[in-house]
Every structure is written in structure tokens, then in C-alpha cells.
Amino acid sequence: MLFMFMKKYLFSILLAILPYVIFANYSTSMFPIINKSEEIVRLIEDDWGMEVVRMEYDILRTTKTTMRTLTNEYTYVVVAFGDFRFRDIDVKVYKNVYGEWQLVEKDADSSAIAAVSLTPTQTCEYLIEISAFSFESGYEVGHYGLIIAHE
């Protein structure tokens, strides 16, 4: 009888502390950025009728770059977004013209989601730059997501 009581008591304690154990490192978890990306993918696919062709996630303190060949057959959207730690994230898209990177589009908003739309005039390599412009108070790093979609 005492064993059953202790077992029940320990189980109750475990249930009470389990959320703290699971979410103790929530600020370093990928769940917030994954959840945010699900909302953005639904918007892109369901509302805008576009197809997601690339997704990436990483940690961001200052600036990261990635490259993608874009064709002149589509109009693209490039969406960069930060988790709850970001106040403002920016995205710029550059086109490779004879070995020189020329700015094609850039986000001008001040928010944790940055989006640009572009219709390439030619098929070539593009450089996408994601920048952490500012963080919420107490943070200096966070997870970002990048989604590239076309019509």
C-alpha cells in the first residue's frame, strides 16, 4: 500500500515538473521558428498560390548568406523570418553580373519578417543575405528561417 502511494506521489511530482524539464531550453529550441514557418508556408501556398522550392533554418547573430539559381521563368518571393528573439530581420537579394554582386531587391520594413518579390530578367545565380538588424531586449542571437517560393 505504501509503495502504491509513493509511486502515485512520485508520478504526480514528475507530471508537475515535466513541463519545466521539457521547456527549460525553449529559448534555444527550434520549435518557435518551425511553428512560425508553418504559418508562413500556409500563407504562401494557400493564399498566394505559390510553390515553396527551398526552406532553410539556422542561428543568426549578424549576417548569413546563401545562394540560389533563379530562372526567368518565374516570379519569386524570398521570405526571411526570425523567432521571438528578433525585433527586425532584413533580407537583400543580389544578382551575379559578370562576377559582381548587384543589389536587386531589399526589404525595407522594420519587423521580424522580411519579404521581397522579384522576377529575374535572366537565369543566373543570386546571393541572398539575411541580416539581424535588431533583437528584443536581452537577446543577441536567434533562429531564423528562409523560404523561397515561386508561382
**One-letter identity of residue 36:** K
pLDDT of residue 5: 42
The three three-digit cell numbers of residue 6, written as one number: 509513493
Report residue 42 as a C-alpha cell. 500556409
Mean pLDDT, rounded, of the chain: 86
Residue range 22-50: mean pLDDT, rounded: 82
% of residues, the chain, pLDDT over 90:
72
Closest Cα to residue 150, out of 102, 117, 125?
117
Q: Which three cell numbers stand for residue 120?
A: 529575374
Lowest-confidence range among 34-38, 65-69, 88-92?
A: 34-38
Q: pLDDT band for position 100 (50/70/90)? A: very high
